[in-house]
Amino acid sequence: MVHYGHSNQLRQARAMGDYLVVGVHNDEEIAKHKGPPVFTQEERYKMVQAIKWVDEIVAGAPYVTALETLDKYNCDFCVHGNDITLTVDGRDTYEEVKKAGRYRECKRTQGVSTTDLVGRMLLMTKAHHSSRELPSEYQEYTDSFGKCPRSHSPWTGVSQFLQTSQKIIQFASGKEPEPGDTIIYVAGAFDLFHIGHVSFLEKVYQLAERPYIIAGLHFDQEVNHYKGKNYPIMNVHERTLSVLACRYVAEVVIGAPYAVTANLLDHFKVDLVCHGKTEVVPDKDGSDPYKEPKRRGIFRQINSGNDLTTDLIVQRIIKNRLEYEARNQKKEARELAVLEAIKKREVMPEGAAMQVEGPCEA
Protein backbone atom coordinates (compact mmCIF):
# COMPACT_ATOMS: atom_id res chain seq x y z
CA MET A 1 0.00 0.00 0.00
CA VAL A 2 0.92 3.67 0.10
CA HIS A 3 -0.01 5.34 3.39
CA TYR A 4 0.95 8.32 5.56
CA GLY A 5 3.70 6.30 7.23
CA HIS A 6 5.46 6.15 3.87
CA SER A 7 4.79 9.86 3.34
CA ASN A 8 6.40 10.66 6.68
CA GLN A 9 9.46 8.63 5.74
CA LEU A 10 9.73 10.53 2.45
CA ARG A 11 9.34 13.86 4.29
CA GLN A 12 12.25 12.97 6.56
CA ALA A 13 14.34 11.68 3.66
CA ARG A 14 13.78 14.87 1.64
CA ALA A 15 15.01 16.95 4.60
CA MET A 16 18.34 15.07 4.51
CA GLY A 17 19.22 16.31 1.02
CA ASP A 18 18.24 18.52 -1.90
CA TYR A 19 16.54 16.17 -4.37
CA LEU A 20 14.54 13.04 -3.56
CA VAL A 21 14.41 10.06 -5.93
CA VAL A 22 12.01 7.33 -4.79
CA GLY A 23 12.36 3.79 -6.06
CA VAL A 24 9.05 1.91 -6.27
CA HIS A 25 9.11 -1.87 -6.70
CA ASN A 26 6.97 -3.61 -9.30
CA ASP A 27 4.27 -6.14 -8.48
CA GLU A 28 6.49 -9.13 -9.26
CA GLU A 29 9.18 -8.07 -6.77
CA ILE A 30 6.62 -7.31 -4.04
CA ALA A 31 4.87 -10.66 -4.51
CA LYS A 32 8.19 -12.53 -4.39
CA HIS A 33 9.61 -10.90 -1.24
CA LYS A 34 6.57 -9.75 0.77
CA GLY A 35 3.26 -11.03 -0.57
CA PRO A 36 0.46 -9.82 -2.88
CA PRO A 37 0.43 -6.01 -3.26
CA VAL A 38 -2.80 -4.20 -2.38
CA PHE A 39 -2.27 -1.49 -5.02
CA THR A 40 -1.00 -2.35 -8.51
CA GLN A 41 2.41 -1.05 -9.57
CA GLU A 42 0.86 1.62 -11.82
CA GLU A 43 -1.33 2.81 -8.94
CA ARG A 44 1.67 2.94 -6.61
CA TYR A 45 3.83 4.83 -9.11
CA LYS A 46 1.23 7.57 -9.43
CA MET A 47 0.48 7.60 -5.68
CA VAL A 48 4.14 8.14 -4.75
CA GLN A 49 4.60 10.81 -7.44
CA ALA A 50 1.68 12.71 -5.87
CA ILE A 51 3.43 12.96 -2.46
CA LYS A 52 4.68 16.53 -2.17
CA TRP A 53 8.23 15.75 -1.00
CA VAL A 54 9.01 13.52 -4.01
CA ASP A 55 11.02 15.01 -6.88
CA GLU A 56 11.30 11.91 -9.07
CA ILE A 57 10.33 8.25 -9.01
CA VAL A 58 12.09 5.19 -10.40
CA ALA A 59 9.47 2.71 -11.60
CA GLY A 60 10.34 -0.95 -11.10
CA ALA A 61 13.27 -0.32 -8.75
CA PRO A 62 15.11 -3.50 -7.66
CA TYR A 63 14.09 -4.87 -4.26
CA VAL A 64 17.72 -5.12 -3.14
CA THR A 65 19.33 -1.67 -3.25
CA ALA A 66 22.79 -1.83 -4.85
CA LEU A 67 25.52 0.79 -5.27
CA GLU A 68 25.01 0.44 -9.02
CA THR A 69 21.42 1.68 -8.64
CA LEU A 70 22.48 4.71 -6.56
CA ASP A 71 25.12 5.64 -9.14
CA LYS A 72 22.72 5.16 -12.05
CA TYR A 73 20.37 7.80 -10.63
CA ASN A 74 23.12 10.12 -9.30
CA CYS A 75 22.18 9.53 -5.66
CA ASP A 76 24.73 10.26 -2.91
CA PHE A 77 23.02 7.96 -0.42
CA CYS A 78 19.78 6.09 0.23
CA VAL A 79 17.35 6.37 3.13
CA HIS A 80 15.12 3.81 4.84
CA GLY A 81 13.10 3.70 8.04
CA ASN A 82 14.55 2.26 11.25
CA ASP A 83 12.71 -1.03 10.71
CA ILE A 84 14.39 -3.90 8.92
CA THR A 85 13.60 -4.96 5.37
CA LEU A 86 14.50 -8.48 4.27
CA THR A 87 14.57 -10.49 1.07
CA VAL A 88 12.57 -13.71 0.78
CA ASP A 89 15.64 -15.63 2.02
CA GLY A 90 16.10 -13.35 5.07
CA ARG A 91 18.91 -11.10 3.77
CA ASP A 92 19.14 -7.37 4.59
CA THR A 93 18.23 -5.54 1.37
CA TYR A 94 20.54 -2.62 2.26
CA GLU A 95 23.61 -4.67 3.19
CA GLU A 96 25.76 -3.45 0.27
CA VAL A 97 25.03 0.28 0.64
CA LYS A 98 25.45 0.10 4.43
CA LYS A 99 28.95 -1.35 4.05
CA ALA A 100 29.81 1.44 1.59
CA GLY A 101 28.66 4.13 4.04
CA ARG A 102 25.90 5.34 1.70
CA TYR A 103 22.94 4.52 3.92
CA ARG A 104 20.92 6.85 6.17
CA GLU A 105 18.04 6.05 8.49
CA CYS A 106 14.89 7.92 9.49
CA LYS A 107 12.30 7.23 12.17
CA ARG A 108 9.48 4.83 11.41
CA THR A 109 5.98 6.25 12.01
CA GLN A 110 4.50 4.50 15.01
CA GLY A 111 0.94 3.21 14.79
CA VAL A 112 0.60 2.56 11.07
CA SER A 113 1.59 -0.30 8.81
CA THR A 114 0.15 -2.13 5.83
CA THR A 115 -0.33 -5.05 8.24
CA ASP A 116 -2.52 -2.97 10.53
CA LEU A 117 -4.61 -1.42 7.73
CA VAL A 118 -5.19 -4.82 6.09
CA GLY A 119 -6.26 -6.15 9.48
CA ARG A 120 -8.79 -3.37 10.04
CA MET A 121 -10.42 -4.19 6.72
CA LEU A 122 -10.63 -7.88 7.54
CA LEU A 123 -11.84 -7.52 11.11
CA MET A 124 -14.67 -5.07 10.31
CA THR A 125 -14.89 -3.47 13.78
CA LYS A 126 -14.88 0.24 14.61
CA ALA A 127 -12.09 -0.01 17.21
CA HIS A 128 -9.75 2.10 15.08
CA HIS A 129 -12.06 5.15 15.08
CA SER A 130 -10.85 8.14 17.06
CA SER A 131 -11.65 8.62 20.75
CA ARG A 132 -12.37 4.97 21.41
CA GLU A 133 -10.79 2.53 23.81
CA LEU A 134 -9.51 -0.66 22.19
CA PRO A 135 -12.06 -3.37 23.07
CA SER A 136 -10.95 -6.88 24.02
CA GLU A 137 -12.11 -8.14 20.60
CA TYR A 138 -9.65 -5.87 18.82
CA GLN A 139 -6.88 -6.61 21.30
CA GLU A 140 -7.28 -10.34 20.73
CA TYR A 141 -7.13 -9.70 17.02
CA THR A 142 -3.93 -7.66 17.21
CA ASP A 143 -2.37 -10.44 19.26
CA SER A 144 -3.14 -13.01 16.58
CA PHE A 145 -3.31 -11.42 13.13
CA GLY A 146 -0.19 -12.20 11.16
CA LYS A 147 1.86 -12.86 14.30
CA CYS A 148 4.00 -15.69 15.53
CA PRO A 149 2.39 -17.39 18.54
CA ARG A 150 5.23 -16.82 21.01
CA SER A 151 6.29 -13.28 20.33
CA HIS A 152 5.90 -10.43 17.87
CA SER A 153 8.08 -8.18 15.76
CA PRO A 154 8.27 -4.46 16.64
CA TRP A 155 8.10 -3.69 12.92
CA THR A 156 5.15 -5.82 11.73
CA GLY A 157 3.10 -5.70 14.95
CA VAL A 158 -0.09 -3.68 15.24
CA SER A 159 -0.08 -0.53 17.39
CA GLN A 160 -2.22 2.56 17.88
CA PHE A 161 -1.49 5.85 16.09
CA LEU A 162 -1.34 8.92 18.33
CA GLN A 163 -1.73 12.28 16.60
CA THR A 164 0.34 15.27 17.73
CA SER A 165 0.26 18.94 16.77
CA GLN A 166 3.91 18.66 15.74
CA LYS A 167 3.11 15.96 13.19
CA ILE A 168 0.38 18.10 11.63
CA ILE A 169 2.77 21.07 11.43
CA GLN A 170 5.39 18.90 9.73
CA PHE A 171 2.88 17.79 7.08
CA ALA A 172 1.08 21.13 6.58
CA SER A 173 2.11 23.48 3.77
CA GLY A 174 1.81 26.57 5.98
CA LYS A 175 0.75 28.59 2.91
CA GLU A 176 -2.08 31.07 3.03
CA PRO A 177 -4.08 31.82 -0.13
CA GLU A 178 -2.76 34.84 -2.03
CA PRO A 179 -4.56 37.41 -4.18
CA GLY A 180 -5.24 35.85 -7.57
CA ASP A 181 -5.54 32.30 -6.21
CA THR A 182 -8.67 30.32 -7.05
CA ILE A 183 -9.88 28.82 -3.78
CA ILE A 184 -11.41 25.40 -4.43
CA TYR A 185 -13.20 23.39 -1.75
CA VAL A 186 -13.60 19.62 -1.84
CA ALA A 187 -15.05 17.46 0.93
CA GLY A 188 -15.32 13.80 1.84
CA ALA A 189 -13.89 10.94 3.87
CA PHE A 190 -10.70 10.48 1.79
CA ASP A 191 -10.41 7.10 3.48
CA LEU A 192 -7.43 4.84 2.66
CA PHE A 193 -6.16 7.69 0.48
CA HIS A 194 -5.76 6.05 -2.93
CA ILE A 195 -5.27 6.62 -6.64
CA GLY A 196 -8.97 7.50 -7.13
CA HIS A 197 -8.52 10.42 -4.71
CA VAL A 198 -5.24 11.45 -6.35
CA SER A 199 -6.78 11.41 -9.84
CA PHE A 200 -9.73 13.50 -8.60
CA LEU A 201 -7.51 16.08 -6.87
CA GLU A 202 -5.23 16.28 -9.89
CA LYS A 203 -8.22 17.06 -12.14
CA VAL A 204 -9.45 19.69 -9.65
CA TYR A 205 -5.96 21.22 -9.51
CA GLN A 206 -6.01 21.62 -13.29
CA LEU A 207 -9.20 23.73 -13.19
CA ALA A 208 -7.35 26.92 -12.35
CA GLU A 209 -4.09 28.65 -13.18
CA ARG A 210 -3.35 29.23 -9.49
CA PRO A 211 -5.43 26.71 -7.52
CA TYR A 212 -5.59 26.68 -3.72
CA ILE A 213 -7.35 23.47 -2.75
CA ILE A 214 -8.96 23.10 0.68
CA ALA A 215 -10.02 19.56 1.59
CA GLY A 216 -12.77 19.16 4.18
CA LEU A 217 -12.51 15.90 6.12
CA HIS A 218 -15.60 14.57 7.87
CA PHE A 219 -15.33 13.21 11.41
CA ASP A 220 -15.35 9.41 11.84
CA GLN A 221 -18.92 9.30 13.17
CA GLU A 222 -20.14 11.36 10.20
CA VAL A 223 -18.41 9.05 7.71
CA ASN A 224 -19.78 5.99 9.48
CA HIS A 225 -23.28 7.49 9.26
CA TYR A 226 -23.22 7.66 5.44
CA LYS A 227 -20.84 4.76 4.70
CA GLY A 228 -21.88 2.26 7.38
CA LYS A 229 -20.07 -0.99 8.33
CA ASN A 230 -16.72 -0.18 9.97
CA TYR A 231 -15.92 2.82 7.78
CA PRO A 232 -13.79 4.85 7.84
CA ILE A 233 -10.89 2.37 7.89
CA MET A 234 -8.56 5.23 8.85
CA ASN A 235 -9.58 7.60 11.62
CA VAL A 236 -9.74 11.36 11.08
CA HIS A 237 -6.21 11.96 12.42
CA GLU A 238 -4.74 9.45 9.97
CA ARG A 239 -6.83 10.75 7.07
CA THR A 240 -5.63 14.29 7.83
CA LEU A 241 -1.98 13.35 7.33
CA SER A 242 -2.78 11.29 4.23
CA VAL A 243 -4.45 14.26 2.52
CA LEU A 244 -1.89 16.85 3.71
CA ALA A 245 0.88 14.78 2.12
CA CYS A 246 -0.70 15.21 -1.33
CA ARG A 247 1.00 17.86 -3.47
CA TYR A 248 -2.34 19.14 -4.81
CA VAL A 249 -3.80 20.05 -1.39
CA ALA A 250 -2.96 23.34 0.34
CA GLU A 251 -5.13 23.10 3.46
CA VAL A 252 -7.30 20.63 5.37
CA VAL A 253 -10.40 21.31 7.47
CA ILE A 254 -10.44 18.67 10.20
CA GLY A 255 -14.02 17.72 11.01
CA ALA A 256 -15.70 19.69 8.24
CA PRO A 257 -19.51 19.89 8.34
CA TYR A 258 -21.26 17.43 6.04
CA ALA A 259 -23.33 20.16 4.42
CA VAL A 260 -21.28 22.82 2.60
CA THR A 261 -22.82 25.86 4.26
CA ALA A 262 -22.87 29.55 3.41
CA ASN A 263 -20.82 30.18 6.54
CA LEU A 264 -18.08 27.79 5.36
CA LEU A 265 -18.01 29.24 1.84
CA ASP A 266 -17.79 32.81 3.15
CA HIS A 267 -15.21 31.97 5.83
CA PHE A 268 -12.75 30.48 3.33
CA LYS A 269 -13.80 32.80 0.47
CA VAL A 270 -14.43 29.76 -1.73
CA ASP A 271 -14.60 30.33 -5.51
CA LEU A 272 -15.42 26.76 -6.54
CA VAL A 273 -16.77 23.59 -4.89
CA CYS A 274 -16.02 20.23 -6.52
CA HIS A 275 -17.23 16.69 -6.01
CA GLY A 276 -16.46 13.47 -7.89
CA LYS A 277 -18.81 10.93 -9.46
CA THR A 278 -19.40 9.01 -6.20
CA GLU A 279 -22.91 9.06 -4.74
CA VAL A 280 -23.86 12.05 -2.59
CA VAL A 281 -25.87 10.82 0.38
CA PRO A 282 -28.52 13.36 1.56
CA ASP A 283 -27.93 15.13 4.86
CA LYS A 284 -29.74 13.88 7.99
CA ASP A 285 -32.68 16.18 7.24
CA GLY A 286 -32.91 14.85 3.69
CA SER A 287 -31.40 17.94 2.05
CA ASP A 288 -28.63 18.08 -0.55
CA PRO A 289 -25.31 18.84 1.22
CA TYR A 290 -24.23 20.81 -1.88
CA LYS A 291 -27.42 22.90 -2.05
CA GLU A 292 -25.70 26.22 -1.20
CA PRO A 293 -22.78 26.04 -3.67
CA LYS A 294 -25.26 24.92 -6.36
CA ARG A 295 -27.46 27.94 -5.54
CA ARG A 296 -24.43 30.20 -5.95
CA GLY A 297 -23.49 28.54 -9.25
CA ILE A 298 -20.04 27.50 -8.04
CA PHE A 299 -20.53 23.71 -7.91
CA ARG A 300 -18.70 21.44 -10.36
CA GLN A 301 -18.87 17.65 -10.69
CA ILE A 302 -15.54 16.18 -11.73
CA ASN A 303 -14.92 12.91 -13.51
CA SER A 304 -11.52 11.72 -12.29
CA GLY A 305 -11.32 9.02 -14.93
CA ASN A 306 -10.53 6.47 -12.22
CA ASP A 307 -13.18 4.22 -10.68
CA LEU A 308 -11.17 2.93 -7.72
CA THR A 309 -12.99 3.41 -4.40
CA THR A 310 -12.28 2.48 -0.79
CA ASP A 311 -14.93 -0.26 -1.12
CA LEU A 312 -13.04 -1.84 -4.03
CA ILE A 313 -9.79 -1.83 -2.03
CA VAL A 314 -11.54 -3.65 0.82
CA GLN A 315 -12.90 -6.18 -1.70
CA ARG A 316 -9.34 -6.81 -2.95
CA ILE A 317 -8.22 -7.49 0.63
CA ILE A 318 -11.09 -9.85 1.45
CA LYS A 319 -10.56 -11.74 -1.81
CA ASN A 320 -6.93 -12.41 -0.87
CA ARG A 321 -7.44 -12.77 2.89
CA LEU A 322 -5.53 -16.03 3.36
CA GLU A 323 -2.61 -14.77 1.28
CA TYR A 324 -2.34 -11.58 3.37
CA GLU A 325 -2.47 -13.46 6.65
CA ALA A 326 0.26 -15.82 5.42
CA ARG A 327 2.28 -12.81 4.20
CA ASN A 328 2.23 -11.15 7.62
CA GLN A 329 3.16 -14.33 9.47
CA LYS A 330 6.10 -15.09 7.17
CA LYS A 331 7.32 -11.51 7.22
CA GLU A 332 7.22 -11.38 11.00
CA ALA A 333 8.95 -14.75 11.35
CA ARG A 334 11.89 -13.47 9.29
CA GLU A 335 12.08 -10.26 11.33
CA LEU A 336 12.01 -12.18 14.61
CA ALA A 337 14.87 -14.39 13.40
CA VAL A 338 16.96 -11.28 12.77
CA LEU A 339 16.01 -9.80 16.17
CA GLU A 340 17.05 -13.03 17.88
CA ALA A 341 20.36 -13.02 16.01
CA ILE A 342 21.06 -9.41 17.04
CA LYS A 343 20.36 -10.23 20.69
CA LYS A 344 22.64 -13.28 20.60
CA ARG A 345 25.39 -11.26 18.97
CA GLU A 346 25.19 -8.68 21.75
CA VAL A 347 25.66 -11.26 24.55
CA MET A 348 28.03 -13.77 22.93
CA PRO A 349 31.79 -13.63 23.59
CA GLU A 350 33.95 -12.39 20.72
CA GLY A 351 34.85 -15.05 18.15
CA ALA A 352 32.10 -17.49 19.15
CA ALA A 353 30.13 -19.22 16.38
CA MET A 354 26.39 -18.61 16.02
CA GLN A 355 23.52 -20.36 14.24
CA VAL A 356 20.34 -18.45 13.48
CA GLU A 357 16.91 -20.10 13.29
CA GLY A 358 13.48 -18.51 12.95
CA PRO A 359 11.38 -18.73 16.12
CA CYS A 360 8.33 -19.87 14.18
CA GLU A 361 7.40 -20.86 10.69
CA ALA A 362 4.23 -19.90 8.83
Residues 295 and 196 in one domain: yes
Q: Does one domain contain both 188 and 239?
A: yes
Angle, helices 321-347/114-123, rounded to nearest 10 degrees: 140
Provide the edge-to-edge strand list for the sheet that holds 272-275. 251-254, 211-217, 182-188, 272-275, 299-301
Model confidence pLDDT, tens digit, residues 39-85: 999 999 999 999 999 999 999 999 999 999 999 999 999 999 887 77
pLDDT category, 317, cuts 50, 70, 90? Answer: confident
342, part of any domain: yes
pLDDT digits (tens, 9 = 90+) for 236-293: 999 999 999 999 999 999 999 999 999 999 999 999 999 999 999 999 999 999 999 9
Identify the pLDDT of residue 150.
Answer: 41
Judgement on whether residues 78 and 169 belong to the same structural domain of the protein? no
Range of the domain at 225: 165-301
pTM (two decimals) = 0.81
Separation of alpha carbons 239 and 197, rounded Å? 12
**How many domains, in total, are found in the chain?**
3
Is 358 among the domain residues? no
pLDDT at 137 over 70: no
Q: How many CB atoms within 10 Å of residue 153?
A: 22
175 shares its domain with 286? yes
* Residues 260 and 289: beta-carbon distance below 8 Å: yes
Any domain includes 306: no
Please report the pLDDT score of residue 141 as a whole number.
44
Considering 34-48, 146-160, 208-222, the range whose residues carry the highest mean pLDDT is 208-222
Decide if 8 contacts 241 (C-beta within 8 A).
yes
3-class secondary-structure state, position 108: coil
Dist. CA 275–CA 296, nearest whole Å = 15
For residue range 164-188, what is the model confidence (pLDDT) as tens digits?
A: 899 999 999 999 999 999 999 999 9
Contact of 39 with 1, CB cutoff 8 Å: yes
Is 85:334 a contact under the CB 8 Å cutoff? Answer: no
Q: β-pairing, 272-275 with 103-106?
A: unpaired
C-alpha atoms less than 13 angstroms from C-alpha of 16 in its C-beta half-sphere: 20
For the chain, give the percent of residues with pLDDT over 90.
Answer: 63
